[in-house]
Amino acid sequence: MRERTRLVLRERVPSWVRLRCGLEPKTLAALAVVLVLGVVLAAQHFRAGRPEPVRAPQLVGDAPPAPEATRPGPSPGPPPAEEPAGRIVVDVSGKVRRPGVLRLPAGSRVADALRAAGGARTGTDLTGLNRARVLMDGEQVVVGVPQPPGGPAPGPPGLTGGGAPGGGPLSLNTATVEQLDTLPGVGPVLAQHIVDYRTEHGGFRSVDELREVTGIGDRRFADLQPLVRP
């Protein structure tokens, strides 16, 4: 019964179906190889077409600045010492180790002149010497020597400005209150004003600065101008 049914179905099946179903083993193996190759190619195509994650581009503003080339700077060292422009010439005499005419930077003080002259000799009294006073060009610094007889009233020992009425111009930067008191029209009070102005401003740089002293007007300045020097 089973064999008869199979024969009946076989006769009714079209011939092209019977040909395809009745394949030989070699043909079947070839079809299997083709099928495997097709599967492999399909897998590769699927993998190549699969979307991949892409990293977002970095913003230009967030990019770190490129390091600039640094030029080699000068080797570090101590800053240059500032020195007042110009030089002055002073005469240092008296009880110093190396008296003579010295050339010092402008703005030097009496202490600088003493140091340049080798310092005062041992035993010299420097009590009345203002070593912090600013020196002026052409000034004479006499250390430890009193005024000669016939000169102006002696001031503090160790420093004289030279000159008084009848003996040459009086130095406004070195004269004492007693010496200034000998000038015409200058009393003890005005003499003290001159000394105070000298101390406050570091000395007189010109005779015209006398106009700025309290108590000296144009008329008194005209009387004092030929009798004094810086």
Q: What percent of the chain has pLDDT over 70?
A: 60
As a whole number of angstroms, the distance between CA 165 and CA 175 comes to 12
Angle ∠(127,133,159) on CA atoms, nearest 5: 45
Whole-angstrom distance, CA of residue 105 vs CA of residue 112 = 9
Task: Share the mean pLDDT of the chain.
Answer: 74
Q: Burial level of 114, CB count in 10 A (0-12/13-18/19+)?
A: buried
210-229: average pLDDT:
89
Percent of the chain residues past pLDDT 90, beyond the cut: 14
| Helix count and strand count (H, E) for the chain | 7, 5
pTM above 0.85, yes or no: no
- Cα separation of 82 and 32, whole Å? 101
Instruction: Select the more confidently predicted residue: 54 or 223.
Output: 223
Decide if pLDDT at 151 tops 50.
no
pLDDT at 105: 94
Is the per-residue pLDDT at 191 higher than 80? yes
Which tokens go with 93? Answer: 């005499």
pLDDT of residue 112: 94
Other CB atoms within a 10 A radius of the CB of residue 151 amount to: 15
